[in-house]
C-alpha cells in the first residue's frame, strides 16, 4: 500500500512540475494586445498569477496586464502622494494582493471600494531606494 501511495504521489508531483514548464507567465496575448488577462482566470489562478507577477516582476516588465478587483487608495503622510491600487482576493477570501496603478491622462480615479477592471503596462519604479510594481498609463475599462 505504501509503495502504491508513493508511486501515485511521484506521478502527481511530476505532472505538477511538467505543468509549470513552458511560458514563464503562462499567458498568451489576447486579440486586444493584453499579455496577461487576469480577468479570464478563476480566483485561485488569478491570485497565483498575481503572486508570480509580484515575486518575479522582471518577467512581466513591459507587458500589458488586465485585472479586476476592488479599488483602494492611501496617502503617504510624509510626501502627500496618493497611491491607488486594485486588490484581488483568493477563492477563500482569506488572502489579498494587488497592484498599484497610475491612470493615463484624462481619466479620473474611481472611489475606494469600487469594483473595476484596469489595464495598463507593468513597470518597476524606484522610490527612496526601494523598487515597486505598478501599472502605468492604465485605463479603467467600462
Q: Which pLDDT belongs to residue 25? A: 43
Q: Give the Cα separation of 138 and 142 in Å (integer).
A: 13
The percent helix, strand, coil of the chain (3-state, each to 5) is 25, 40, 35
Residue 18 lies in a domain: no
Q: Of residues 11 and 85, which shows the higher confidence score?
A: 85
Task: Give the tens place of pLDDT for each residue, 53-87.
Answer: 999 999 999 999 999 999 999 999 999 999 999 99
DSSP codes joined into one string, 36-69: EEGGGS-HHHHHHHHHHHHHSGGGTTT-EEEEEE
- Which DSSP state fits 22? S
Kindly state the percentage of the chain with pLDDT values over 90. Answer: 56
CATH no. for residue 53? 2.40.50
Residue 56 lies in a domain: yes
| Assigned C-alpha cell, 29 | 496575448
Domains held by the chain: number = 1
Cell 486586444 maps to which residue?
32
Task: Give the tens place of pLDDT for each residue, 83-139.
Answer: 999 998 877 777 788 899 999 988 999 999 999 999 999 999 998 899 999 999 999
Domain that holds residue 121: 26-141
* Alpha helix positions (H), the chain: 2-19, 43-55
Residue 2 lies in a domain: no
Single pTM value for the model: 0.73
Amino acid at each position: 500500500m505504501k509503495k502504491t501511495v508513493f508511486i501515485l504521489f511521484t506521478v502527481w508531483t511530476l505532472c505538477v512540475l511538467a505543468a509549470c514548464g513552458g511560458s514563464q507567465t503562462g499567458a498568451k496575448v489576447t486579440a486586444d494586445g493584453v499579455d496577461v488577462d487576469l480577468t479570464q482566470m478563476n480566483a485561485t489562478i488569478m491570485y497565483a498569477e498575481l503572486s508570480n507577477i509580484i515575486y518575479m516582476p522582471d518577467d512581466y516588465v513591459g507587458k500589458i496586464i488586465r485585472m479586476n478587483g476592488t479599488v483602494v487608495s492611501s496617502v503617504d503622510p510624509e510626501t502627500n502622494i496618493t497611491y491607488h491600487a486594485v486588490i484581488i482576493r483568493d477563492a477563500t477570501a482569506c488572502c489579498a494582493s494587488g497592484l498599484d496603478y497610475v491612470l493615463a491622462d484624462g481619466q479620473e480615479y474611481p472611489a475606494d471600494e469600487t469594483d473595476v477592471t484596469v489595464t495598463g503596462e507593468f513597470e518597476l519604479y524606484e522610490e527612496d531606494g526601494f523598487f515597486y510594481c505598478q501599472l502605468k498609463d492604465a485605463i479603467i475599462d467600462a
